[in-house]
Amino acid sequence: MARRLLALGWEVGVRDLDPAREAALVAAGARAYATPAALAAAHAVVVVAVVDAGQCDAVLFAADGLAGAMPAGACVVLCPTIGPASTESIAGRLGERGIACVDAPMSGGPARARDGTMSLMVACAEAAWSQHRGLLEALSSTIFRVGERPGDGARTKLVNNLLAAVNLAAAAEAIALAERVGLDPATTLDVIERSSGQSWIGSDRMRRALAGDLAPRAHTTLLAKDSALALAMAAEAGFDPPLGRLAAARFKAVCAAGFADLDDASLLEALRAEGG
């Protein structure tokens, strides 16, 4: 996302726990800051792109966090996949300080973030949307304005990611089955991609899996986390998604089996290791 903005000529400040990531962005034209607070003091808008609600809380509200240094009228664009209750809480705490919050979870992975084609599911007040629409449209050409209620971006993302988990688990099973019955898996995937079984995540991940490329773009832990969050949201709404439960259980088991830090394309390798 930072590289996308830099390429379009935006002034970008960065803060990351990984010094190599910071250094790479500095080399691309960004300015690094020693703490989130130092970054916040120099910018009117901060995009938060971390993993979970705990990391959001640390980045925003720790002693050297963003919120304490942002002036009234500033804005946080919240991009992680977290539960809607966490999003609502963060938006409320920021609002007490006069800081706007744009609930904008993202989907599509690093390559689509870099070229500006990832999806952003945006929920925020109309004033924040009007003021920061230019930034959001610079980040992505695929923006879905899902409403004004904080948390609706998170809800939309969890619905999407539960389906992604179901589709990916099913795609891995289908390719494992093709191998078991003596079919060429790559040819079978060719057929699926042009037939009724196609899904974007199935094609993307199974191509990598068949190439033996499990370098993590999206760690298996992420869909494990997201599917669990989606089930919690469903339970709160009094809804039981049986396929979603199976997919979530599958991701949890694959993580426990040692594939947590690999790309989630590793679901195919996990099935092979289990003998089907």
Q: How many domains is the chain partitioned into structurally?
A: 2
pLDDT score of 81: 94
List 78's β-bridge partners, or say none: 48, 103
203 and 133 in one domain?
no
Instruction: Reply yes or no on whether the pLDDT at 275 is more than 80.
Output: no
Of 108, 133, 149, the residue at which a domain comes to its end is 149
182: left (phi over 0), alpha (psi -120 to 50) or beta: left
CATH of the domain at 36: 3.40.50.720
**252 is known as an active-site residue:** no
202 and 110 in one domain?
no
Catalytic hit among 155, 157, 205, 219:
157
pLDDT score of 50: 94
Instruction: Reply yes or no on whether the pLDDT at 110 is more than 90.
Output: no
110 and 15 in one domain?
yes
248 and 177 in one domain?
yes
**What mean pLDDT is predicted for residues 179-202?**
97
123 and 171 in one domain?
no
62: left (phi over 0), alpha (psi -120 to 50) or beta: beta
201 and 114 in one domain?
no
Of 116, 149, 182, the residue at which a domain comes to its end is 149
Instruction: Reply yes or no on whether the pLDDT at 276 is more than 70.
Output: no
The domain of 72 spans 2-149
In degrees and rounded to multiples of 5, residue 228 shows phi and psi of: -65, -40
Instruction: Reply yes or no on whether the pLDDT at 38 is more than 90.
Output: yes
pLDDT score of 109: 83
193 and 82 in one domain?
no
pLDDT score of 249: 97
160 and 106 in one domain?
no
**What mean pLDDT is predicted for residues 205-213?**
96
Mean pLDDT (the chain, rounded): 96
**What mean pLDDT is predicted for residues 31-46?**
96
List 101's β-bridge partners, or say none: 76
pLDDT score of 139: 97
Residue with tokens 């969050």: 229
69 and 10 in one domain?
yes
How crowded is the C-beta side of 192, counted as CA atoms within 13 Å? 25
145 and 162 in one domain?
no
Which tens digits make up the pLDDT trace of 211-248? 999 999 889 999 999 999 999 999 999 999 999 999 99
Identity of the residue numbered 89: S
259 alpha-carbon distance from chain centroid = 19
CATH of the domain at 159: 1.10.1040.10
pLDDT score of 75: 98
pLDDT score of 108: 86
226 and 112 in one domain?
no
Checking DSSP bridges between strand 119-123 and strand 31-32, what pairing results, if any? unpaired
Question: What percent of the chain shows pLDDT beyond 70?
Answer: 100
Of 101, 123, 149, the residue at which a domain comes to its end is 149
Measure the CA–CA gap between 215 and 197, rounded to whole angstroms.
25
39 and 60 in one domain?
yes
